[in-house]
Amino acid sequence: MYKIILILIYSISFQIVAQNQVLDLDGNQYDIINIGGQVWFKQNLRTTKFSNGEIIPNSIGNGTWAIEGMPAWCYWYNDSVNQYPQGTLYNWYSVNDSRNICPQGWKVPTVADWTILFANFGGNQLAGEALKDTGTIENGTGLWHAPNLATNISDFTCVPLGYRSQNGTFGGGMKTLGTGQIRLTSMTKRREFI
């Protein structure tokens, strides 16, 4: 059974709060879901610490986001209001740091992990509808723009987060947030749009 965290773009020990929940070292609580033998976080990662307890630096300035080898996190547009429900943005160096951005026993998903998840719902072209939250910005029920054809039959409830490019600028502004998803994996530096 795989344990995977969704990170857009995801401790000395982690604590299981309930049968379907995990805490990170910051005390953030994550619901988990089993889909096709893989166990995923239902929320985007929000930690500010590596699994060994060391702090991941917060990067507010554009110039510090892509410093070679420097892990960093931030909120979308550096606004903490975006932490819930969207989560936290991490740069490549945080995602691939040997100290592990995920709680102990968890990992950042690989391309293969995403492929398996999507295959449970008909592959890349169909999985989005099954995995996304069903609400829309326009009717005040969610974070995706209309038309949102999501069914969320998976109960995964994926929400949009936005992104931060290598030069530190933010993307997925109010006109585009909720129109697609960028997923980061532990295997590639490039952004993949789904």
pTM of the model: 0.80
C-alpha dihedral (52, 63, 96, 174), degrees to nearest 10: 100
Local confidence pLDDT in tens for the 194 residues of the chain: 444 444 433 222 334 445 688 999 999 999 999 999 999 999 889 999 999 999 999 998 888 888 888 999 999 889 898 888 788 999 989 999 999 999 988 998 888 899 999 999 999 888 989 999 898 889 999 888 888 889 999 999 888 878 888 888 888 754 455 555 444 445 444 343 33
User: Any idea where the domains of the chain sit in the sequence?
Assistant: 1-188
Nearest one of 138, 141, 139, 145 to 160, comparing CA atoms: 145
The pLDDT of residue 19: 67
What contacts 97, CB < 8 A, 6 or more positions away? Answer: 50, 71
Is residue 121 within a helix (H) or strand (E), and if so which, with residue range?
A: none
Which residue type is seen at 46?
R
The pLDDT of residue 70: 93
Nearest one of 139, 164, 17, 14 to 82, comparing CA atoms: 164
Which residue type is seen at 194?
I
Nearest one of 30, 21, 36, 31 to 127, comparing CA atoms: 36
DSSP codes, 169-189: -EE--TTTTTS--EE--SS-S
The tally of CA atoms less than 13 A away on the side-chain side of residue 62 is 7
Alpha carbons 21 and 162: distance in angstroms, whole number: 25
Nearest one of 43, 45, 5, 8 to 183, comparing CA atoms: 8
The pLDDT of residue 161: 79
Is residue 90 within a helix (H) or strand (E), and if so which, with residue range?
A: strand 89-90
